[in-house]
């Protein structure tokens, strides 16, 4: 290892003091850094540091560094340069190493080619089989859905047809029943049947006296309305409330009654419930404030337009006793 190299550098200065500057700089030396050799590396790496051209002038001269600091800096620079040189040499050596081992791929022979072709054919056949099966399954599912839809539509149509037939039948029966009642009403309005006991007493007790047989006409009219609907405020011919039915029945024999039950409860002569006769008007509630009316038909029964659930019916007084009664015939 060489620790230092010395060379001379002459610096010529021009100007007024040219000779003095030339003389002073004749013996100046430059200092070089440490020179380091690496084993196996034929190239020498040298770092040179030149002195300033004004270093010979005392006023321009920088303070001298100590020998230890200069040696430390030279050593650091040499170490860095050595590391770079070693890395470059190692990369060159690795690149120059020959390949000593190779991996050979298997040779594609005729038998291997045939096996590969057979495997590809089998795979294609399997894929075709799966595709055909999938198409069959899809077709079966579609057919089942269509069959279920057709069945549901057929059942719906059959149900609608059944309902229509039942409705038509009910309408025919209702029409026949209305025709029968209308015919009976016509007969009752044009003829009167003779009536038995009770008519003379009723005639003497009512200012609106009726001819003989009027009670029978009233009862016949009321029985002809059996089965009609109860509708609040209705006045026939197929729907009634309690007071409109009573009013219409007595109108058949020429007796004009008030429209509402409160007034009908005071229209005739009051009678006791123990002395009732056929044709007497029954009322529920107080006289003048009654909320329901009907007509006594004998044998402890009365006929009335009861309520929306029952319509026009015959009922027993024992099940729903009246509050009072009046006689108008």
Residue where a domain terminates, one of 90, 113, 143: 90
Residue 275 lies in a domain: yes
Residue 254 lies in a domain: yes
Separation of alpha carbons 145 and 304, rounded Å: 58
pLDDT in tens, 55-107: 556 555 556 666 666 656 666 666 666 666 656 665 555 555 555 555 555 55
pLDDT in tens, 184-204: 555 554 544 434 333 333 333
Residue where a domain terminates, one of 41, 67, 90: 90
CATH of the domain at 293: 3.90.1720.10
Residue where a domain terminates, one of 63, 90, 117: 90
- Its domain, for residue 32, covers 6-90
Residue 320 lies in a domain: yes
Residue segments in the chain with a per-residue pLDDT below the cut of 50? 1-16, 18, 26-39, 44-49, 189, 191-212
């Amino acid at each position: 290892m060489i620790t230092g190299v010395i060379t001379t550098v002459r610096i010529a200065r021009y100007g007024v003091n040219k000779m003095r500057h030339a003389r002073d700089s004749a013996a100046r030396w430059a200092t070089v850094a440490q020179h380091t050799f690496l084993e196996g590396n034929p190239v020498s790496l040298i770092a040179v540091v030149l002195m300033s051209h004004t270093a010979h002038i005392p006023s321009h001269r920088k303070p001298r560094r100590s020998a230890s600091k200069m040696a430390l800096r030279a050593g650091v620079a040499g170490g860095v340069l050595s590391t770079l040189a070693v890395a470059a040499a190692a990369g060159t050596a690795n690149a120059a190493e020959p390949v000593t081992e190779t991996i050979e791929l298997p040779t594609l022979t005729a038998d291997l080619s045939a096996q590969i072709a057979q495997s590809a054919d089998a795979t294609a056949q399997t894929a075709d089989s799966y595709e055909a099966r999938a198409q069959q399954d899809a077709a079966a599912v579609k057919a089942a859905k269509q069959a279920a839809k057709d069945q549901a539509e057929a059942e719906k149509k059959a149900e609608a047809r059944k309902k229509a037939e039942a409705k038509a039948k009910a309408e025919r029966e209702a029409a026949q029943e209305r025709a029968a009642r209308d015919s009976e009403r016509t007969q009752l309005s044009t003829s009167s049947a003779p009536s038995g006991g009770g008519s003379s007493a009723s005639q003497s007790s009512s200012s609106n006296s009726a001819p003989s047989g009027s009670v029978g006409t009233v009862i016949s009219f009321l029985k002809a309305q059996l089965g009609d609907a109860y509708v609040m405020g209705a006045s026939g011919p197929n729907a009634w409330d309690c007071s409109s039915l009573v009013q219409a029945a007595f109108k058949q024999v020429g007796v004009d009654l008030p429209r509402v039950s409160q007034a009908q409860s005071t229209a005739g002569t009051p009678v006791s419930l123990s002395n009732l006769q056929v044709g007497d008007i029954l009322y529920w509630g107080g006289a003048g404030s009654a909320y329901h009316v009907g007509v006594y038909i004998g044998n402890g029964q009365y006929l009335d337009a009861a309520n929306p659930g029952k319509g026009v019916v015959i009922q027993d007084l024992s099940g729903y006793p009246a509050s009072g009664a009046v006689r108008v015939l």
